[in-house]
């Protein structure tokens, strides 16, 4: 097959445009014919794409130029005479190999998402400096204000009472943490509360009105403080970044890693903590409520009210097995058991 000519398309290094070109196949070498001239390349200096099904092979030259032959069958016959096909191509020739690769890929994906990703997220999040938390917190607060969150409409006296309550419920070993503070705001979306990465607890006017007692509000404050104690927000940011970077690596596009890291600082009202994180925050709140001698009946009241409020806001909900949050009834049952 030496001396055979192939027509195809050539793309110059660093340019998107391509032109019609010819490639002459020799023994362990090729000659490229383009408008700019003719150049010979030994096979050792060529990079040929992996053979995946019927996807045409492409050649990348040492200078970065790229050639895609129009007659892929002819090029494959010549190429496989000089180089052994890759493992993936050989596996594709056998159904069992395809099934084995598919099964292995699924297992690897499940292991990465359910085992390796949470572990890496936790390890990395614990090592991140406080300055990153503070920067993400400021960014999140600015975004929330742009989405319609405004200053609290509660009286100054009531707001001061809530600030005092917040200082009282914070565990002693956390009171020296920088940035831990309460911010009361009016939400357009109703009763809600969440902790920003920098330790700012956002509490809505509507949630305050929904609570029947200060102990109920203390339960919410402690739950969100549990998220901050275990750095759940940072874990979610790291996890989102790792997933994005992994997808770009799989797709072969790593040029936007920096932008992706910034975009992965997803705001907390758009993030959903995992079941384990929610359960961990619940357990922290339960232990602190009991240690401080606060009413678990009040905790049960506010969680029940929040569950009912959530049902009214959304007529369609994910089934429990698909939701990242533990089922509300599951959480309420845990509180009832603790109270007994």
Please tell me which residue, 223 or 99, carries the higher pLDDT value: 223
Write down the pLDDT at residue 271: 47
Confidence class of residue 219 from pLDDT cuts 50, 70 and 90? Answer: very high
Q: Is the pLDDT of residue 213 over 80?
A: yes
What is the arithmetic mean of pLDDT over 252-259?
50
Across the chain, mean pLDDT equals 81
pLDDT-wise least confident of 24-38, 190-204, 259-273: 259-273
Task: Find tokens 């917190």 and name the residue.
Answer: 137
Confidence category of residue 105, pLDDT binned at 50, 70, 90 = confident
In which band, very low, low, confident or very high, does the pLDDT at 1 lie, cut at 50, 70 and 90? very low
Mean pLDDT of the 144-173 span: 93
What mean pLDDT comes out for the span 125-136? 82
Asked if 325 and 304 count as a contact pair (C-beta separation under 8 A), the reply is no
Check pLDDT > 50 for residue 316: no
- Position 285 scores a pLDDT of 96
Provide the pLDDT for residue 339.
82
Q: Is the pLDDT confidence value at 122 over 70?
A: yes
- The model carries a pTM of 0.62
Say if residue 48's pLDDT is above 80: yes
Which range is least confidently modeled, 159-173, 185-199, 217-231?
Answer: 185-199
Checking if the pLDDT of 323 tops 50, the result is no
Evaluate if residue 92 carries a pLDDT over 70.
Answer: no
The residue that leads in pLDDT, 119 or 190, is 119
Q: Is the confidence at residue 312, as pLDDT, over 70? A: no
Phi, psi torsion values for 215, nearest 5 degrees: -65, -35
pLDDT at 207: 94
- The label of the residue with tokens 């007692």 reads 213
């Amino acid at each position: 097959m030496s001396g055979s000519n192939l027509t195809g398309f050539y793309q110059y290094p660093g340019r998107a445009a391509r032109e019609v070109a010819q490639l002459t196949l020799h023994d362990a070498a090729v000659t490229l014919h383009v408008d700019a001239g003719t150049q010979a390349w030994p096979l050792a200096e060529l990079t040929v794409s992996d053979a995946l099904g019927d996807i045409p092979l492409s050649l990348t030259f040492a200078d970065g130029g790229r050639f895609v032959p129009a007659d892929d069958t002819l090029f494959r016959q010549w190429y496989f005479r000089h180089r052994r096909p890759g493992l993936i191509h050989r596996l594709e020739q056998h159904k069992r190999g395809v099934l084995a690769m598919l099964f292995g890929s699924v297992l690897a994906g499940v292991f990465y998402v359910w085992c390796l990703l949470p572990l890496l997220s936790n390890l990395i999040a614990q090592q991140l400096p406080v300055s990153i938390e503070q920067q993400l917190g400021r960014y999140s607060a600015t975004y929330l204000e742009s989405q319609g969150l405004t200053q609290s409409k509660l009286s100054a006296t009531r707001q001061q009472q809530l600030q005092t309550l917040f200082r009282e419920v914070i565990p002693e070993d956390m009171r020296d943490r920088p940035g831990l503070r309460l911010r009361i705001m009016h939400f357009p979306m109703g009763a809600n509360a969440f902790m920003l990465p920098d330790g700012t607890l956002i509490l809505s006017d509507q949630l305050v009105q929904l609570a029947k007692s200060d102990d109920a509000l203390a339960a919410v404050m402690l739950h969100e403080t549990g998220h901050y104690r275990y750095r759940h927000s940072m874990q979610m940011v790291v996890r989102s970044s790792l997933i994005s970077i992994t997808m770009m690596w799989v797709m072969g596009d790593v040029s936007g890693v920096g932008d992706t890291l910034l975009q992965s600082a997803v705001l907390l009202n758009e993030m959903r903590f995992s079941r384990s994180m929610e359960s961990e925050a619940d357990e922290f709140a339960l232990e602190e409520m009991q240690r401080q001698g606060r009413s678990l009946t009040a905790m049960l009241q506010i969680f029940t009210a929040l569950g009912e409020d959530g049902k009214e806001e959304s007529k369609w909900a994910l089934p429990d097995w698909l939701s990242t949050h533990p089922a509300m009834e599951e959480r309420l049952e845990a509180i009832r058991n603790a109270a007994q």
